[in-house]
Amino acid sequence: MTDFWNDGDPIADTAAPDGPIETRWERRKFSAKLVNPANRRKLTVIVVGTGLAGGSAAATLAEAGYHVKSYCYQDSPRRAHSIAAQGGINAAKNYRNDGDSIYRLFYDTVKGGDFRARESNVYRLASVSVNIIDQCVAQGVPFAREYGGLLDNRSFGGTQVSRTFYARGQTGQQLLLGAYQAVERQVGLGNIEMNTRHEMLELIVVDGKARGIVVRDMVTGEITTEMADAVVLASGGYGNVFFLSTNAKGCNVTASWRAHRKGALFANPCYTQIHPTCIPESGTHQSKLTLMSESLRNDGRVWVPLAAGDSRKPGDIPEEDRDYYLERIYPAFGNLVPRDIASRAAKNVCDEGRGVGPGGLGVYLDFADAIARLGQKAVEAKYGNLFEMYQRITGEDPYKTPMRIYPAVHYTMGGLWVDYDLQSTIPGLFVVGEANFSDHGANRLGASALMQGLGDGYFVLPTTLGNYLASGPYEKISEDHEEVVAARTAVEERLNKFLSIDGDRTVDSFHRELGHIMWEYCGMERTEEGLTKAIGLIRALKDEFWQRVKVPGTGEQLNQNLEKAGRVADFFELGELMCIDALHRRESCGGHFRAESQTPDGEALRHDDEFAYAAAWEYFGADQKPTLHKEQLEFEYVHPSTRSYK
Amino acid sequence: MDIQVRVWRQTDSSDKGRMVTYDVKDISPDASFLEMLDVLNEKLILDGDDPVAFDHDCREGICGACSMVIDGVAHGPERATTTCQLHMRHFKNGDVIDVEPWRAAAFPVIKDLVVDRSAFDRIIQAGGYITAPTGAAPEAHSTPVPKKDADLAFEAATCIGCGACVAACPNGSAMLFTAAKVAHLGLVPQGQPERDTRVLDMLQAQDDAGFGGCTNAGECTTVCPKGIPLTLIGRLNSDYRKALRNSNS
């Protein structure tokens, strides 16, 4: 027991089969109980979220014959934030004959996750990766192709094989449209009931099982209770706890957090991925950050002035006064070091006062050498659309002056804890995609998020959820049931509370301030002192929020500030748990860097003897200490080693 | 910079609506258009007024949520740019900027600048897909696709479904939207079996949703943030004629 958390029992069972890893998923599939096709249409499944995971799950479950009710806060399922993924999707097809295999993808993912992921899940992900590409091609996803008509691949994110499939810089868009079209087909057939502009505000748990959700119609404000035989959360990540991130403005943790409050364990919340190549903030009006594809680092050179406070224009700074710090510190990988290392190095040079641009929060990404070597035409052919995007946002021409970049929060590896079946600790509540914690450990490799979302939704969940449903039937629950009424009443009271405070600060002003605290103390570098301070600051700000927030309008209309208030209220509680998780993990691993745990030359230092576990937190109340349950991670195949990029 | 915005305010679908003028002061030229509206809304909230409702999400030009007619042009004055990617440096101090919602019979206003675009989803439901249930897919390399066709299909598939084409069309037609999907799926071999039924069903759904007919005005492609070309409408018409012939024979 500590000041901030209690220690609980370890997690005994992950439902993962043992034995040879190559056949675990085959054996699990065979042992899964099946639902008779004639009975499936009598079973209702709720799917929250329509991104790659939720869209693919909803379509596949509906195709199988289940009655699916789908919910998204956007005005169309096609707008889920998977749409914005640029780079690509990994699959172990070995089309390049470069030695790739399911085992190698599995190996790379476990190692890339800094040995903090569950081997069984990662192996399964690697093995279904090949089916994902087949499925997407059959749907007409226009992947990049070679002149012979076969699919093109590129290498991505520091791997040594070319296994990334892509559709120019819009892979997420094309994959999502494939899933969206499959969903709309099922909507047209009457198998999916689609509810756009609806937000899940509570999970309904009856007799210990997830049996429904409370939703708000964002246009009319009507609150309804939606009942089902099982609930699937595919509601994405929580990067917006930082206010500024590459997430869409609406991305939020509410669905996951409501489930956490109802008993679902939340695992590894402190594992956040900070992407090194984003466009820096331009001022206090900044509302989000935009990612520039990592591929830019293939030809761009990263540098800052050698001396702090050098305010000359980049073109006026001669070579000898520049510090190409990645090439200097990491001669073997240079500008291509993994995301976490590139991000932290940028922060370090900015902390030394050598950052460039507004507020000194930026480093140069310079293409002058590439343009001299390859010619402007060749650079334009490779990066033209990215250069245009940069120019549109900053008003600067990257062909003439170096880009300015800075790290930004991009992805959250943590999420609701799930077992091998993707089931949370609440029976009947399944969690897929970024919303769960399962496959990326402490750090996600490039082009693996799309793979996981679609792997979960198309191939894993439909099997494991069927097993759960076949274990029923579960008694029909009336909307008058006391648990249902209580959940609904709690939602209404909370909304009324937001509207009645009538204070003097906007929701956004609180969110921005919370984001500053998180970025400062729970961002790229964390310390015991900083995290302890942050917990105090968050608690004080949360109290202030509940006293002083001003939410205009009523609940019976489209009210975007009321929506935001609920999301920010949950971000406060999540932010505190993230800091507690970061505080308890006295090691550095993946996206989590504790300043106290580094090698003499400043690299991350893991402590496998103490921390080779997933930290799953149990909720006991807003003002109560959470309880830590450890899932010990076994590495039977990929033995922990130290990452080195020098 | 200081500007004035004249914004369409409409409390709900039954309200008649009106333009209301607001001063917005001290805006950075580096702010995006939506960030300028964020600043306005923060002030409106603290003044006890109702903030302006508008759709937005990714704010990086790909989700297709943002949807404003700015000074009479869908997505504003910059070519091939969504509202969220439009920055204030393209305006000057003292400008008076008109901001209105998409206006089309098939896109009713919900509130202020927010419209209902679910008619687009209904067009896709009618046939904007390839029937390929999960699990039934053959090996991806079993069917090569000529690079030229794959590239053209991709270009058509970059449509973000924002609806600017409809807002700009004097007839409120969704032809460019439908044509882009018909072209995308019609250019790949996997899309051939449903090619005829797709175009017939999608056009029927488009008519049923209340969109107008196409008279080749070409305003759609001018405002399209992804530059979907007008030639795709010609392609759709050709597909439509073939499908009609085939269905009559």
- Considering the domain architecture, whether residues B149 and B100 belong to the same structural domain is answered as no
A338 preceded by a cis bond (ω within 30 of 0):
no
pLDDT recorded at residue A262: 98
Residue A157 pLDDT exceeds 70: no
- Tell me the residue range of the domain where A515 lies: 482-632
Query: Is B137 contained in some domain?
Result: no
Q: Which residues pair with A214 in a beta bridge?
A: A202, A225
- Considering the domain architecture, whether residues B229 and B167 belong to the same structural domain is answered as yes
Answer yes or no: do B121 and A76 touch at CB < 8 A: yes
Query: Is B236 contained in some domain?
Result: yes
- Tell me the residue range of the domain where B231 lies: 118-131+143-248
CATH, residue B92: 3.10.20.30
- Considering the domain architecture, whether residues B75 and B123 belong to the same structural domain is answered as no
Residue A334 pLDDT exceeds 70: yes
User: Chain A: residue nearest B192 by CA?
Assistant: A140
Answer yes or no: do A181 and B38 touch at CB < 8 A: no
Q: What is the pLDDT of residues A55-108, one digit of tens each?
A: 999 999 999 999 999 999 999 999 999 999 988 999 999 999 999 999 999 999
Nearest by CB to A560, which of B53, B89, B153? B53
Q: How many domains does chain A have?
A: 2
Residue A471 pLDDT exceeds 70: yes
CATH, residue A574: 1.20.58.100
User: Chain A: residue nearest B112 by CA?
Assistant: A558
A359: pLDDT confidence band, cut at 50, 70 and 90? Answer: confident
Distances (CA, A) of A644 to A95, A571, B120: 28, 35, 50
User: Chain B: residue nearest A390 by CA?
Assistant: B85
- Considering the domain architecture, whether residues B149 and B107 belong to the same structural domain is answered as no
Answer yes or no: do A181 and B129 touch at CB < 8 A: yes
pLDDT recorded at residue A254: 98
Chain A contact for B198 (CB, 8 A cutoff): no
Q: From A356, A388, A408, give the residue that closes a domain.
A: A408
**Interface test with chain A among B42, B44, B57, by most A beta carbons within 10 Å:** B57
User: Chain A: residue nearest B48 by CA?
Assistant: A552
Residue A298 pLDDT exceeds 90: no
- Considering the domain architecture, whether residues B125 and B187 belong to the same structural domain is answered as yes
Chain A contact for B94 (CB, 8 A cutoff): no
- Considering the domain architecture, whether residues B65 and B183 belong to the same structural domain is answered as no
- Considering the domain architecture, whether residues B229 and B210 belong to the same structural domain is answered as yes
Residue A1 pLDDT exceeds 70: no
CATH, residue A353: 3.90.700.10
Query: Is A118 contained in some domain?
Result: no
- Is residue A118 part of the annotated active site? The answer reads no
- State the 10-residue block means of pLDDT for chain B, 249 residues long: 98 96 97 98 97 98 98 97 97 98 98 98 98 97 97 97 98 98 98 98 98 97 98 98 92
- Considering the domain architecture, whether residues A352 and A494 belong to the same structural domain is answered as no
A133: pLDDT confidence band, cut at 50, 70 and 90? Answer: very high
Answer yes or no: do B39 and A139 touch at CB < 8 A: no
Nearest by CB to A83, which of B62, B114, B144? B62
Query: Is A234 contained in some domain?
Result: no
Q: Is residue A215 within 8 Å of residue A226, measured between CB atoms?
A: yes
- Considering the domain architecture, whether residues B81 and B182 belong to the same structural domain is answered as no
pLDDT recorded at residue A141: 98
Report CA dihedral (A620, A622, A625, A631) to the nearest 10 degrees: 60
Give the C-alpha separation, A565 to A18, whole Å.
Answer: 45
Chain A contact for B144 (CB, 8 A cutoff): yes
Give the C-alpha separation, B163 to B185, whole Å.
Answer: 20
CATH, residue B158: 1.10.1060.10
Catalytic residue, chosen from A78, A118, A258, A339, is A339
Cβ contacts of A54 within 8 Å, gap of 6 or more:
A47, A48, A70, A72, A80, A232, A234, A235, A432, A433, A457
pLDDT recorded at residue A644: 72
Residue showing tokens 């603290």:
B46
Answer yes or no: do B60 and A133 touch at CB < 8 A: no
- Considering the domain architecture, whether residues B227 and B126 belong to the same structural domain is answered as yes
Q: How many domains does chain B have?
A: 2
- Considering the domain architecture, whether residues B91 and B149 belong to the same structural domain is answered as no
Query: Is A560 contained in some domain?
Result: yes
Distances (CA, A) of B89 to A168, A535, B3, B30, B56: 29, 40, 12, 6, 20
Residues of B in contact with A219 (CB under 8 A): 110
- Considering the domain architecture, whether residues A401 and A515 belong to the same structural domain is answered as no
What is chain A's length?
646
Distances (CA, A) of A288 to A243, A251, B140: 8, 12, 37
pLDDT recorded at residue A331: 92
Average pLDDT of the segment spanning A409-414: 97
Chain A contact for B104 (CB, 8 A cutoff): no
Q: From A354, A384, A408, give the residue that closes a domain.
A: A408
A424: pLDDT confidence band, cut at 50, 70 and 90? Answer: very high
Q: From A365, A388, A408, give the residue that closes a domain.
A: A408
Answer yes or no: do B62 and A149 touch at CB < 8 A: no
Residues of A in contact with B110 (CB under 8 A): 219, 558
Residue A158 pLDDT exceeds 70: no
Task: Kindly calculate the radius of gyration of chain B based on its CA atoms and give it in whole angstroms.
Answer: 20
Q: Is residue A398 within 8 Å of residue A391, measured between CB atoms?
A: yes
